[in-house]
Structure 1
Amino acid sequence: MSEQNTTTESAAQAEPTVRFATTSGDLLTALSLTALALPPERSSSPELGSVMLTATGSQLKVSTHNPALRDSVSVLVATEPGSGGHSVLDHQELQKVVAAATSGRTPAQAARVPVDMAGACLSTPDITIPVTAYPAEGFSEVPSPVAMVATVDGPEFLRQLARVLPAVMKDDVLPLLTGVQIEYTKDQVCLRTTDRYRMAEATLPAQPWDGGTSPDRYEAAVWGGTLRNIAKQMRNYKGLVSLGLPAAESAEPQATLCLGGAEITIGRLEGRIPTLRALLPNADGGQRLGVERAAITQAVTRSMALCKAKGSDPLVLLTGHDGGHIRVAPALDSVEEQNQTVGSLLSVECEGVGAPMHSAPLCLNPAYLLDALKAFDDDRVTLHLPAPKGGTGQRGKVLLTSGMDAAGDGYRHLLCAVHRLR
């Protein structure tokens, strides 16, 4: 008799009990955000494809959790009073059912359609349909968010994030470099990425979460793929972003971002991406070349297309011309053809020792250079060139900023030069 009662109680606990009323638009927005924690491909594991709906009073909490990545997302949705209970449902199916049940209307009309949820059944004024449910016991507990330490302007945070994401490593040979280093020190937040061939760094002002005593630095390296999806999903967000970051040297395994009603906790990557300052080339004997961003963008784009037309590896060559100009040309495989090539002539403002480029060329990956140029907003960019390496006649790195100061103005991009063997 005791065993039968235990079985009955477990079955009752597993049954979906959530009840709430809201609009389809609010529910779909929450489901879109919580998809950030789920695998991109549909998983055969119910746990990795489910969503927890927990209702209390006039609020619904929509949550997903990916234990493998230690990622979780929780979104709060306003509901009619009297909500309660909880259900674990198939995330993808629920998203599709809500969209299908409100179809046949304009997007604005569909977003306003009232939806009621009772257990695992979704109802609109027109139709009621069940959604696949899973036992609540199989849903991993969503981890607690990391304590907030700073607040930044949302649109500015997303803008700066978009500027550094191109330098994230695309494969996971070095897992740390697939991430974005987020640091909070004093009154600013720094975002930093590198794939070993380039490094992007952006800074933005921040306000402390409270006025109490705190460590000098909070930081976490988190997976760039999740942040890229957040930037895409929240591109129209206009509010504040609150950052929950562990103190430096802390073993805390996660970081948290709060955007409006969304609470996004992301697993940390092991290690710390080095600072850009540590990698800057020595400025002694170097130069600063100010150039129109549109002009150099066109010249680099043209050179990359010519490399493709000639069947050469995509490389662009910047060479000195005279006291106020440089040339941008495709770096062709054939020495003879390279000697016959005359690049596009660009006017530059030169500060430093000697004529522009010091008669030492700079060879770069054009795709990387275009990514860097695209990230700037100003009409002009500055190329900070170190002195040529002794005896090689080639340069190792170039730093791009929006002004003549190497400290930059909120954004800096470092590119490694390509050394050509001739």
Structure 2
Amino acid sequence: MKFRVERDVFADAVAWAARSLPVRPSSPVLAGLLIEANDAGLVLSTFDYETSARATLSAEVNDEGKALVSGRLLADICRSLPAKPVELTLDGPRVSLTCGSARFSLQTMPVSDYPTLPEMPSATGTVSSADFAHAVAQAVTAAGRDDMLPVLTGVRIEIDGSTMALLATDRFRLSHRELTWNPQSPDESVAALVPAKVLGDTAKSLTSGAEVTIALSSSGTGEGLIGFEGTGLGGVRRTTTRLLDGEFPKVRSLFPAEHLTVAKVSKADLIETVKRVALVAERNTAVQMKFGDNQIVLDAGSGDEAMATEAVDADINGDDLTTGFNPQFLLDGLTAIDGEMVDLAFTQATKPVVISGTDADDTTGSFRYLLMPRRLLS
């Protein structure tokens, strides 16, 4: 194997493929990045039996062949290379990489031990890459991080015709984002539970092109796959990942049909106020919020320790109420919302608040964030 390729194109593709490599692989070969050179160019692949990544790019190939090398090491090397063409040659059990006067020699791993990557499922539809990345970033805000509850570490994607809904919850909060997309079939109706971390990383990494193709193959037993395809520097990027098994909770009913109290407030003002007041909040304690007289009064701390109070102006319609929330969870939701103004809608003080943007651009979809209240210290 011998080829020559532009440094930026190669470094970008290597970094993209290596980003999903496992930190602690179950087998040494799963830390490898597979390089395949043929007449069509290069294919760089990684796979850990759960998530696969495949980048194709153009290159001047002199000799075809395959080599498996440490993916993270190759990515580190490529980041540090000078801005000159890269030449890579397979010489027995080692790969030689030359870039300008820089030369590296890497040990290879047996290609025969590397698992076969799964095929990309048939395309289900396409979506704007920028809209999809933004929607996913909002949705994953509420995804769980406890591996003991794997179902809650996923984002449920629900497709109904030209509407795609993204749902995530960790039992304390819930995110719901809708956006329009272009299905292959106008009456498409399907759902999938995708690992939130993989979904977030993938959506963010596929914004170079205008569109992302989503390919879904679900057997209903947790063995289904979802695939994403977009364009990157110099070629095509493809990722597949296994769907999570288990029944995602029926969370849509948690959003109330009507609200008795709605407060409209500047998002930036509320975020800054919460940050300041939360400085004195003890670990795992709530920031109290009192709604009334066209302002929200925030309190934190206790009489024996530091205390803080601050008010922020708000347009409040409905009954006065006092409640409290985990400040970090509240900030996560506020930060994810688009627009300058937000609505905080309540049915009563002991029920969840629904936070949404009031002046966001609604051409691509809507985002709602539901947050459970925390018990206030007496």
Quote how far apart the aligned CAs of 1:272 are. Answer: 4.3
Quote how far apart the aligned CAs of 1:374 are. Answer: 0.8
1:342 and 1:97 mapped to 2: Cα distance?
52
Deviation readout 1:170-197 (Å, 9 max, x if unpaired): 2212011112222322112222211110
**Once structures 1 and 2 are overlaid, which stretch shifts more, 290-299 or 190-199?**
290-299
Q: What's 1:145 paired with? A: 120
Quote how far apart the aligned CAs of 1:292 are. Answer: 1.6
1:95 and 1:313 mapped to 2: Cα distance?
40
Q: What's 2:189 paired with? A: 216
1:135 and 1:248 mapped to 2: Cα distance?
33
Q: What's 1:372 paired with? A: 333
Whether the 8 Å contact between 2:280 and 2:300 is mirrored in structure 1 is no
Pick aligned residue for 1:412 from 343, 368, 373 = 368
1:321 and 1:125 mapped to 2: Cα distance?
68
Q: What's 2:133 paired with? A: 158
1:94 and 1:331 mapped to 2: Cα distance?
49
Matches within 5 A, 1:190-229: 190-208=165-183, 210=184, 212=185, 215-217=188-190, 219-229=191-201
**Once structures 1 and 2 are overlaid, which stretch shifts more, 157-166 or 117-126?**
117-126
Whether the 8 Å contact between 2:291 and 2:297 is mirrored in structure 1 is no
Quote how far apart the aligned CAs of 1:163 are. Answer: 1.5
The answer to whether 1:114 aligns with 2:114 is no
2:85 and 2:2 mapped to 1: Cα distance?
17
Change (3 A) 1:244 1:312: closer
Change (3 A) 1:346 1:47: same
SS at match of 2:201: helix
The answer to whether 1:59 aligns with 2:33 is no
SS at match of 1:146: coil
Q: What's 2:3 paired with? A: 20
Deviation readout 1:224-272 (Å, 9 max, x if unpaired): 22234335545x6343111112358475422111121111111211124
Structure 1: give runs of 5+ residues left out of the alignment: 1-17, 389-393
Deviation readout 1:292-334 (Å, 9 max, x if unpaired): 2122222222221233xxx575422222333xx1322224444
Letter in 2 for 1:344: A
2:249 and 2:12 mapped to 1: Cα distance?
36
The answer to whether 1:76 aligns with 2:48 is no
Letter in 2 for 1:306: V
SS at match of 1:296: helix
Structure with the greater alpha carbon radius of gyration: 1
1:224 and 1:251 mapped to 2: Cα distance?
15
Q: What's 1:188 paired with? A: 163
SS at match of 2:288: strand
Change (3 A) 1:206 1:272: farther
Structure 2: give runs of 5+ residues left out of the alignment: none
Change (3 A) 1:133 1:362: same
Quote how far apart the aligned CAs of 1:79 are. Answer: 1.1
Whether the 8 Å contact between 1:24 and 1:115 is mirrored in structure 2 is no
Q: What's 1:10 paired with? A: none
Letter in 1 for 2:30: L
Change (3 A) 1:335 1:122: closer
SS at match of 2:264: strand
Q: So what's the TM-score if we normalise by structure 1?
A: 0.78
Q: What's 2:314 paired with? A: 347
Quote how far apart the aligned CAs of 1:77 are. Answer: 1.1
1:281 and 1:83 mapped to 2: Cα distance?
64
Letter in 2 for 1:292: S
RMSD: 3.0
The answer to whether 1:326 aligns with 2:300 is no
2:74 and 2:47 mapped to 1: Cα distance?
16
Quote how far apart the aligned CAs of 1:53 are. Answer: 1.4
Whether the 8 Å contact between 1:93 and 1:132 is mirrored in structure 2 is no
1:129 and 1:313 mapped to 2: Cα distance?
50
Deviation readout 1:44-83 (Å, 9 max, x if unpaired): 832111121122213211111102xx11111101112555
1:122 and 1:161 mapped to 2: Cα distance?
37
Letter in 2 for 1:61: V
Change (3 A) 1:321 1:76: same
Pick aligned residue for 2:356 from 385, 401, 404 = 401
Whether the 8 Å contact between 1:53 and 1:60 is mirrored in structure 2 is yes
Letter in 2 for 1:348: D
Pick aligned residue for 1:40 from 11, 23, 29 = 23
Residues matched between the structures, number: 369
Q: So what's the TM-score if we normalise by structure 2?
A: 0.87
The answer to whether 1:259 aligns with 2:230 is yes
1:361 and 1:138 mapped to 2: Cα distance?
61
More helix by share: 1
More strand by share: 2
Whether the 8 Å contact between 2:3 and 2:63 is mirrored in structure 1 is yes
Change (3 A) 1:65 1:409: closer
The answer to whether 1:383 aligns with 2:351 is no
Q: What's 1:15 paired with? A: none
Pick aligned residue for 2:70 from 67, 86, 90 = 90
Letter in 1 for 2:122: A
Change (3 A) 1:124 1:337: closer
1:409 and 1:38 mapped to 2: Cα distance?
33
Deviation readout 1:194-240 (Å, 9 max, x if unpaired): 111011121221012x3x576422x2222222234335545x63431
Q: What's 2:254 paired with? A: 279
1:336 and 1:117 mapped to 2: Cα distance?
66
Q: What's 1:246 paired with? A: 217
2:107 and 2:247 mapped to 1: Cα distance?
42
